[in-house]
Amino acid sequence: MTKNPTPLAVVHAAIADYRAMNAAHLVALSEYADDDGDIPETAMPAYDEDRFTYALEADERLDDVMTALTEAFGLPDDRPVTVLGQWHTRFEVTPGRLDDTARRAFTEGQCHALALALHEVTGWPTTALLTSECWGTDRMCGDESDEECPCRIGHIVVTRPDGAHVDITGAHAPGTVPHCAGAPALPMTEEHWKAIRSTSAWRGADLPLARTFVRPLLASLADAPQLTHA
């Protein structure tokens, strides 16, 4: 069985990988230089094209490094981190702190991340709350307005065993989730999740941040009454 690497091992691996990549880039770019170390004008277009390619590789490597460091160390809980919301908005959210900023971030762009994080821990199914119109912008859209259309998904929650819809604002009876009153509910399918992951209308799910809110959110619901059914 392979053991999880220690945080120090993750840092050392990142440093070693970056140095190897950077050395390869420098060697390749040095082939364009003349004896004085200058890049001739005739070679500049190819040189710039390779530099652009290497910059993209370095950018991807940085994403991988930050993911590995986050997994090894976790997110800081003593300062805000930036998370992307809808319409290119950005929120400065302190991990694990249930405040108004967190509630905005996870209702205005990152609701799907919190729903996934809650599902991971509780197993509660994810549920879409639908808007009234199909805009015909997704490959799953039919010829007429269809409740299965991902473009109608306006908010994503999890459904507790008692039927309550749970999001960052708490547990609510169906049809009473804030800003989604009366919205029809539809169980999320893998096809819906694939559609959300592949469209630019939904930003990437920030799961590392969302996971920090699962425990405090569930704790805040512990003393709340369960829904009763006639």
- Domain limit, last residue, from 43, 73, 103: 73
- Domain limit, last residue, from 24, 46, 73: 73
Shared domain for 138 and 36, answered yes or no, is no
Helix (H, G, I), strand (E, B) or coil at 67: helix
Tens of pLDDT along 89-104?
A: 999 999 999 999 999 9
Shared domain for 66 and 87, answered yes or no, is no
Q: How many domains does the chain have?
A: 2
pLDDT, position 160:
97
CA 17, 23, 24, 26 torsion: positive or negative? positive
Q: Using alpha carbons, list the distances in angstroms from residue 94 to 68, 78, 87, 100.
A: 20, 7, 21, 11
Residues facing 81 on adjacent strands: 93
Q: What are phi and psi of 50, to 5 degrees?
A: -65, -40
Whole-structure pTM value: 0.84
Tens of pLDDT along 108-133?
A: 999 999 999 999 999 999 999 998 76
Instruction: Give the structural domain span for 140.
Output: 81-221
Note whether 125 and 159 are within 8 A (CB).
yes
CA neighbor of 158 nearest in space, from 131, 188, 180, 192: 188
- Domain limit, last residue, from 73, 97, 119: 73
| Residue 151 CB neighbours (<10 A) | 19
